[in-house]
Structure 1
């Protein structure tokens, strides 16, 4: 089970995430988010995370020039698009990317996933009108499609308490958490993030 801890805002939290055994961490480049980071801080976090950590940059309907400016200054291994970005936009940066799909009512999930054949993975997140992510809400895990070749990452309202149930219900490739392991927006609780990672790993070990 792969685990990503998103919304990292400090070097201390990045080091804690790495020591706890996460596979990836996320940096938010969306000014409206309480977890947004400056380019200077993002670069420091990326370098502190270590060579085997997948550092992910999260964008929401960003101007392409801004994305390129981030890529020129921050070493990112993966891009994550959380807005209404089309496939051509996502592909234009010539980097591996993950497209977030918010599970709004009535969405035909498999068709939405199929619209991004070049994605390294698809992140399925809870839907709240006008909010691109980080809501702390869950969605009906029975809606997660099975048997697809595209790796699926589950997000939305995950915590150390419910992550094992979520994995058992969905059998996804990975899980992504932000608010569920925080003491305040953008401040990670190191005990919670360690518990989250350990519980996710134990779920797969016992499967």
Structure 2
């Protein structure tokens, strides 16, 4: 698969990693913020020593972390991208980019002023994750937003010349509805889990749908 980008996030065990590293994902995500999928950096380092990540890039997900906190983790695990999933300010993001020297993606929660938030970050971030807005939760809700808004987000990201992933409740059962809007990338977590564990069969089912989509667009 070379067209649609796939990011499998929320890997929280060696078992999860064995599933996602042997998938078609381009990016594998780890959550370092308070979450049921939060990972310990030392454990993650041990898991990574036992798997071949091949050509996949590792994404670290943080919520309102400081540049110093992120730099400490980057010194222990080979992250390729920093994903800021909180309400980080422009100054904080610039500080992270300066001190960590890695691309930064910003999560944008679907809401009335979401496009204005994206526009305020033009030239600052290197990509976006557009996620559902659920009160009291930063992400990983398994809830979708109105995908009719997807083209607007894609257009703004294209204007900025950066990547844009769609997240929130995507699974093999509903991905066809999202693919109609020709997203650049899809970010999944709960949609490829069975009993809170990454599941090879669900990954295969999702990638089958994506494969059919990509064949139809060639």
Fold match (TM-score > 0.5): yes
TM-score (norm 2): 0.86
Residue 173 of structure 1: aligned partner: 184
**CA displacement, residues 112-149 of structure 1 (integer Å, 9 cap, x when unaligned):** 21222232211100001111001111111111214332
Long gaps (5+) in structure 2 = none
Q: Is the 8 A contact 1:46 1:55 kept in 2?
A: no
The 2-side partners of 1:200 and 1:43 are apart by: 31
Higher mean C-alpha deviation, range 92-101 or range 143-152: 143-152
Structure 1, unaligned runs of 5 or more: none
Go from structure 1 to structure 2 and tell me whether the alpha carbon gap of 1:197 and 1:34 turns closer, same or farther (over 3 Å shift): same
Give RMSD over aligned pairs. Answer: 1.6
Provide the aligned length of Structure 1 versus Structure 2. 202
1:49 CA displacement: 4.3
- Indicate yes or no: 2:74 matched with 1:62: no
Residue 94 (structure 2) pairs with residue 82 (structure 1): no
Contact preservation (8 Å) 1:39, 1:73: yes
Give 1:94's match in structure 2, choosing from 101, 107, 115: 101
Q: Distance in 2 between matches of 1:182 and 1:172?
A: 22
Q: Would the alpha carbon gap of residues 7 and 49 (structure 1) be closer, same or farther in structure 2, given more than 3 Å must change?
A: farther
State the match for 1:143 in structure 2.
Answer: 149
Q: 3-state DSSP class of the match of 1:158?
A: coil
In structure 2, relative to structure 1, the CA distance for the partners of 1:44 and 1:164 (3 Å cut) is farther
Per the alignment, in what secondary structure is the counterpart of residue 4 of structure 1? strand
Q: TM-score, normalised on structure 1?
A: 0.90
The DSSP-based 3-state class of the residue aligned with 2:165 is strand
Instruction: Verify the 8 A CA contact 1:101 1:124 in the aligned structure 2.
Output: yes
- 1:82-118 Cα deviation digits (max 9, x unpaired): 00012232232321111000112x2242x22122223
1:157-189 deviation digits (Å, cap 9, x = unpaired): 1011111220212x221000001111123x111
